[in-house]
Amino acid sequence: MDNKTVETISYLARLKLDKDKKDKITKDLENIINFVDELQDINTDDVTPLANPLEKTAPKRKDFVNSKDRKEVFLENSPQSDQDYFIVPKVVE
């Protein structure tokens, strides 16, 4: 784990870290990775990856509409909105 990797990860997570924080997180992540690293010693060649630790399967929902229009509440609770839309900084490709 080096500073550069932490910078990449924090960029992807849109987190702004100052130098001190970056150093601390680098060290923390280093420790975590070392801690789980011993798992690498186990041979998992013939093991199917586990999708979910609960030994259950997904319930399925019937396809009928059962949801109210809560537009006003949702828009009211957003940082910025007009009567129809959520307003966000300009994002244009």
Partner 1 sequence: MSWETVIGLEVHAQLSTSTKLFSSASTKFGSEPNTQVDLVDLGLPGVLPVVNKDAFKKAITFGLAINADINQESTFDRKNYFYPDLPKGYQITQMTQPIVEGGSIEINVDGNIKTINITRAHLEEDAGKSIHDAYPDKSVIDLNRAGTPLLEIVSEPEISSAKEAVSYMKALHQLVTFLDVCDGDMSQGSLRCDANVSIRKVGDSELGTRTEIKNINSFKFIEKAINFEIKRQIKVLENGDKVIQETRLYDSLKDETRPMRSKEFANDYRYFPDPDLLPVIISDDEMDEIKDSFPELPNEKSKRYISELKIDENEAQIVSSSRELSIFFELAVDSESDPKLAANLLVGEIGSLLNKDNIKINESNLSSDNFNTLLKRISDGTISKKIAKTVLADIWDSGKDADEIIKNQGLVQIQDESIIQDVAQKILEANPDQVAAFKGGKDKLFGFFVGQVMKETQGKANPKSVNDILKKLLS
Residues near partner 1 (CB under 8 A) are 8, 11-12, 14, 49, 51-52, 54, 56-67, 69-71, 74-75, 80, 82, 84-93
Beta carbon of residue 5, minimum distance to partner 1 (angstroms, whole number): 11
Nearest to partner 1 of 20, 59 (CB atom): 59
Beta carbon of residue 46, minimum distance to partner 1 (angstroms, whole number): 17
Nearest to partner 1 of 20, 48 (CB atom): 48
Cβ atoms 17, 10 nearer than 8 A = yes
Task: For residue 23, give the amino acid letter.
Answer: D
Nearest to partner 1 of 20, 53 (CB atom): 53
| Cα 10 from chain centre | 12
Helix (H, G, I), strand (E, B) or coil at 30: helix
Q: Which two tokens stand for residue 65?
A: 């509409």
Beta carbon of residue 11, minimum distance to partner 1 (angstroms, whole number): 6
Q: Which two tokens stand for residue 37?
A: 């690293």
Q: From CA 21, how far away is CA 28, in angstroms rounded? A: 10
